[in-house]
Structure 1
Amino acid sequence: HNLQAGKNFIWITIGQIVTRILGLFFFIVLSFKLGSAGLGAYSFISSFVPLWFLLIDLGASHYLYREWVKRKETHQEIENDFHILLTSKLILSILIFIFFSTFNYIYNQNIFIPLVIFFISNIFAQILQLADVYLMSFNAFKYISFRQIIEKTIITLIGIISLFIFPSLKIIFIIYLLSQLIALFYYALAVLPFKFKIILNLKRSGYLFKKGLPFMFIILFASIYAKTDIIMLRYFDNFEVVGWYSTAYKFIDLVLIFPTLFVSAIFPVISSLYHTNKAKEKFTNFLYKCIRIIFSTGLIASLLLFFYSGLLVAIFFPPDFYPSIYALKILAISICLTFFNMLFNDVLILQNKEKTSLLITSSCATLNVILNFILIPRFSLYGAAWASVLCGIINFFLLQKHAKWKSNKFLIAKVTLILFLNICVVLIFKHFNILANLYISSFVVIINILLLSWYGLLKKEDIKLFYDPIKMKLTKSN
């Protein structure tokens, strides 16, 4: 199970690292060519349009993913469900488009055309997302990585060229649409073992929608939880502030590559262990290993972004993006929590506790909206950042409390001690006004790495989890 999780992780890491780096580079070019206001409009559209697709399959694709990884259905049954859900998604997309275009023609007329273009692009993205679910359930992560690289390369190369010739949001989102079409042809012609087709089966669709409802609400509230700050900043403030906040969040998004990939890679493995009667002890040990990895990487990432936020923004973005620095420092506090939340949310899902996950996610999403209503008018983007941190803390305590796992007191004590020491260090640095001293900050990061190793929270065997698949691949090649 370690080897399979490692293989999955390596493939999606390759895809995500390449695409995130290309995405960051493209984002930086956008900031220079469009300015903070133009970047804010781009960020708003990128966050706003996907919200309209949250209910598109009523969570059925996530239900199917959980069922497909159990290997209890035949290939023909899986293929039929794939096309039944695909048909339903396309029909619902057309219906939603009518309401979408009407709403935005009235309330967002100044960016209406880019919104419509990106909506159409997201229709094709829905097909690709369903294909990804199919491939992930069979551990075929390499094809997903290739597809992601193809898409992002097209967007970055053609997008940057177009920005220098004709800087326009319309052109940018047309390029997004083009990349989705090319990726779709790649899947259809070279990857999927079947051809796309339309199957209208209302009875089966209804069954899938019913089973997917808890997942749908989890996704709905998780997206509200993640995107509400940018949407509300647009209406409480202006596109310039959205641009500053999006810049800070871009670094967070880049750091979240690891937990996103890691959790995706281990889900088929940890799910298989949990549902195997004789593998309960293996499940517990594997979960402890995941917790160690998540905490160690999350802590280091938090410290790096917190201490180096000023340097990062100064290097990559224009001078008028200076307000992003303090927003990034605040958001960096929540990184370790976000890492844990991703892991424990998936533990709840594989334990068939999606309703519990839904209740927790919806509560935190509602709290996030309330906090944004209170804090954004008073503190602008910094209020939005603190709202995310506070909700992340509450989300963590609720998720780990309701997940069924055998807690290790020694592991928890080590984690708590290291966190407490770091909080004390930050408060002392703030008191003496030396948070911006990069030499002292670097020393703190190094000390933390040594502490993690000394306390056994960062082990060689954890690194081998990802190194062994690469070594085996190279050995086979030779």
Structure 2
Amino acid sequence: MSIKKLAGQTVWYGIPRIVSRFLNFGVSLLGFRLFDPNGSYPYTQIYAVIPFLTVLFTYGLETSFFRFAQTHNRQKLFNTLNLSIWFTTILLTLLLFIFKGPLTHFIEMDSHPEFVTWMIWIVFFDTLYTIPLAKLRLEERPRMYAFVNVFSILLNILIILFFYYVAKPAHDSGANSFLALLYNPRIGIGYFIIANLIASAVTLLLLYKEFRSFKFQFDKGLWKEVMHYSYPLIIVGFGGMINEMLSRVIYRKVLVEQYAGQAEFELGVFGANYKLAVLITIFIQIFRMAAEPFFFNQSRNDGAQKMYARIMKLFVIACCFMFLIISLNLQFWKGLIAAKHPEYAQAIHVVPILSMASIFLGIYYNLSIWYKLTNRNMTGAWVTIGGAIITIVLNIALIPRFHYNGAAWATFLCYAFMMVISYQQGQKYYPIPYARKKLITYLVIVSLFYIIHEYLIASHLPKKDKDWTGISYLVYYGSSLVFFGLFTWLIVKVEKKEMQKLPFIGKYFN
């Protein structure tokens, strides 16, 4: 598979994923518009817990499916892993319902235990179609994959709009109708969770052809081999979720007592601004969709390491552009999340920190191919465990003193550590000629551009948004465009030969 094919599949995985994530982001913005930070807190909390449960329920089988599909009969592998995941999903779901009370209390959702019930069912349905979706990716069927994802998110949005813009007005008008009965004000932001649950259940129906190809065939020997490869990935997954989500899960628990009353408010604000790193997060996710099977397939070819190094360089350059789009236009993002509730803008300054942290995470994902290809998953697990320890310690130490600023820096330092350690270990066991100095230079340059831009704005424009004039906005966005243009000029100048080799756009650099 060539870079051109990888790029094409990234587009097929990417455009629907981008559309889906932006629609999802729009849904989040709607939530921030409909509810203040205290009202949006349960949404932030539930969606901080779901990724932990997803890692537990899937236990690394998606990556294992790609890995073993290179050396084993794919149909037998598909059947075995499907049976495994169906059995464990049913078992774990029953256990969660048995211990739902303690779980509800631990995540501090006692006022809305029904949210926890819906959350469990979301994880149940999402887990069941993990292997069928992986099969679509392995068979290089991105169009079907795109259709499933886009349909799911559109259905999700339509249900949300129905509840808040059809059922709610009917209820508020006092009408004694079926529509009015469908809306319960006490549920509040919970209808976002209900919509997700319905969309997840319907997605199973869209994959009926993949399920029809499934046969009750279980190869015990193959399953043991897969689990031996997979169990370190569970540790990696849990560590990754701790690093990404822990700050929001434990925020209320570690905040000092005198601030306990504002914990929900701060968590709602932090969760809203965390969403603004969405561009980089989206790109990392769509890249992984296409890149993971690509990396495994490419490993059998000569020159694979050079190909990985080239992909890393292009990946980092793309992330740098995204960082500039986000960090040089904070006024725009502030307007999106704080149009109705200005208090959401209080934490806008943490967005560049979280965005750079996301870049570090993306680089780590690229680097992690070394332990997956050399069957050293446990080494990768130790790297993730180290990151998780740093996350736990720093969140406990920094949140009580610096609140969401401390949580943001804990995320930044954790991902920086994982990136550096994974690079060092990877060069020992699977050396890849990454353009290390050049990539570090690019990351430093975009960071300096952001710092200089913020200094200029703080020095020459009014401190309060209400005092800004048309000239203020012209200066702000004009200077943003200048810095973006400077970085574009630098990349074109330095990477002209690399750009000429790219599919689709290379002809414009000749």
TM range (shorter): 0.7 to 0.9
Match of 2:385 among 351, 362, 384: 362
Q: How does 1:243-262 map to 2 (within 5 A)?
A: 243-262=268-287
The answer for the alignment partner of 2:439 in structure 1 is: 415
8 A Cα contact 2:330 2:348, kept in partner: yes
- CA offset at residue 243 of structure 1? 1.6
Q: Distance in 2 between matches of 1:457 and 1:250?
A: 34
Number of residues paired by the alignment?
459
RMSD, aligned CA? 2.7
1:19 aligns with 2:20: yes
Identify the range of structure 1 (96-105 vs 366-375) with the bigger mean alpha-carbon deviation. 96-105
Q: Distance in 1 between matches of 2:93 and 2:219?
A: 17
The answer for the alignment partner of 2:201 in structure 1 is: 181
Match of 2:302 among 263, 280, 300: 280
Give the TM-score of the pair, scaled to structure 1: 0.88
The answer for the alignment partner of 1:56 in structure 2 is: 57
Q: Distance in 1 between matches of 2:496 and 2:443?
A: 13
Give the TM-score of the pair, scaled to structure 2: 0.82
Match of 2:485 among 440, 446, 468: 446
Could you tell me which amino acid in structure 1 is paired with residue 436 of structure 2? I
Q: Distance in 1 between matches of 2:23 and 2:116?
A: 23
- CA offset at residue 110 of structure 1? 0.5
Q: Distance in 2 between matches of 1:210 and 1:161?
A: 46
CA pair 457-99 structure 1, distance change in 2 beyond 3 A: farther
The answer for the alignment partner of 1:472 in structure 2 is: none
8 A Cα contact 1:88 1:205, kept in partner: no
- CA offset at residue 428 of structure 1? 4.5
CA pair 46-434 structure 1, distance change in 2 beyond 3 A: same
Per chain length, whose mean CA-contact separation is higher, i.e. which structure has more relative contact order (CA < 8 Å, sep 6+)?
A: 1
Match of 2:331 among 310, 328, 342: 310
Could you tell me which amino acid in structure 1 is paired with residue 325 of structure 2? L
Q: Distance in 2 between matches of 1:419 and 1:153?
A: 36
For residues 333-386 of structure 1, the C-alpha deviation after alignment (integer angstroms, 9 at most, x for no partner) is: 324322211211234323322111111111011101110111111111111111
Identity of aligned residues (%): 15
Q: How does 1:384-403 map to 2 (within 5 A)?
A: 384-403=407-426
Q: Distance in 2 between matches of 1:52 and 1:413?
A: 38
1:267 aligns with 2:287: no
Q: Distance in 2 between matches of 1:352 and 1:211?
A: 7
The answer for the alignment partner of 1:464 in structure 2 is: 503
Q: Which runs of 5+ in 2 are unaligned?
A: 169-182, 462-475
Larger Rg computed on CA atoms = 2
For residues 107-152 of structure 1, the C-alpha deviation after alignment (integer angstroms, 9 at most, x for no partner) is: 5310211111121121011002222222222222322221111111
Q: Which runs of 5+ in 1 are unaligned?
A: 469-478
- CA offset at residue 217 of structure 1? 0.6
- CA offset at residue 405 of structure 1? 2.7
Q: Distance in 1 between matches of 2:7 and 2:192?
A: 36
CA pair 466-316 structure 1, distance change in 2 beyond 3 A: farther
- CA offset at residue 28 of structure 1? 0.8
Match of 1:229 among 247, 255, 260: 247
Secondary structure, in 3 states, of the residue corresponding to 1:256? helix
For residues 376-400 of structure 1, the C-alpha deviation after alignment (integer angstroms, 9 at most, x for no partner) is: 1111111111111111211111111
8 A Cα contact 2:136 2:145, kept in partner: yes
8 A Cα contact 1:101 1:116, kept in partner: no
8 A Cα contact 1:292 1:457, kept in partner: no
Could you tell me which amino acid in structure 2 is paired with residue 182 of structure 1? V
The answer for the alignment partner of 1:473 in structure 2 is: none
Q: Distance in 1 between matches of 2:384 and 2:161?
A: 37
CA pair 134-94 structure 1, distance change in 2 beyond 3 A: farther
The answer for the alignment partner of 1:341 in structure 2 is: 364
Q: Distance in 2 between matches of 1:315 and 1:104?
A: 32
8 A Cα contact 2:79 2:216, kept in partner: no
Q: Distance in 2 between matches of 1:394 and 1:435?
A: 36
Could you tell me which amino acid in structure 2 is paired with residue 85 of structure 1? I
**Large movers: runs of 4+ above 6 Å:** 197-204, 465-468
Q: How does 1:174-213 map to 2 (within 5 A)?
A: 174-188=194-208, 190-195=209-214, 208-213=226-231
8 A Cα contact 2:239 2:385, kept in partner: yes
- CA offset at residue 231 of structure 1? 0.9
Q: Distance in 2 between matches of 1:228 and 1:38?
A: 20
1:169 aligns with 2:189: yes
CA pair 80-337 structure 1, distance change in 2 beyond 3 A: closer
The answer for the alignment partner of 2:86 in structure 1 is: 86
- CA offset at residue 99 of structure 1? 1.9
8 A Cα contact 2:368 2:422, kept in partner: yes
For residues 234-292 of structure 1, the C-alpha deviation after alignment (integer angstroms, 9 at most, x for no partner) is: 43352221221111111213322112212321222221221x2xx231x1232122112
The answer for the alignment partner of 2:346 in structure 1 is: 323
Identify the range of structure 1 (305-314 vs 431-440) with the bigger mean alpha-carbon deviation. 431-440
